[in-house]
Amino acid sequence: MKRIGLVAHDEMKDEMVAFAQTHRDRLGAFTLFGTGTTGGRVSEGTGLSVTLLKSGPRGGDAQLGAMICEGQLDALIFFVDPLTALPHDVDVKALVRLATLYDIPLAVNRSTAEAVLASL
């Protein structure tokens, strides 16, 4: 079963939940991992099973990065808020860098998430 990581910046969490609601049946075919708040919101909003990691700023982004390095994620859906400065920007950049380095599909908005989901 393919494994997908889910993370969204604070201002994008509602968008992630809406995306997951729209694609609930398709996402249900995957093993899902999410940073604490994002994964919890997706699970509550959809009934999908999401393995919860730490919140992003408390290590969840790093946990997802480690999973990528260890070949434990097949794709990452990361709804980024391009208009908000983040205190943990270094962690965010590291996660994007690892997804790029290890050549896994990376979606940073709804359009790319739908394309990634369709390709898996």
Full pLDDT tens readout for the chain, 120 residues: 899 999 998 899 999 999 999 999 999 999 999 999 999 999 999 999 999 999 888 889 999 999 999 999 999 999 988 887 766 678 788 899 999 999 999 999 999 999 999 999
Angle between helices 13-22 and 36-46 (to 10 degrees): 40
Neighbour-count burial of 113, counting CB atoms closer than 10 A to its CB (0-12 exposed, 13-18 middle, 19+ buried): buried
pTM summary value? 0.93
Phi, psi for 9 (deg, rounded to 5) = -65, 160
Number of domains into which the chain is organized: 1
Length of the chain counted residue by residue: 120
Task: Tell me which residues are annotated as active site.
Answer: 61
CATH of residue 109: 3.40.50.1380
Domain with 20 in it: 3-119
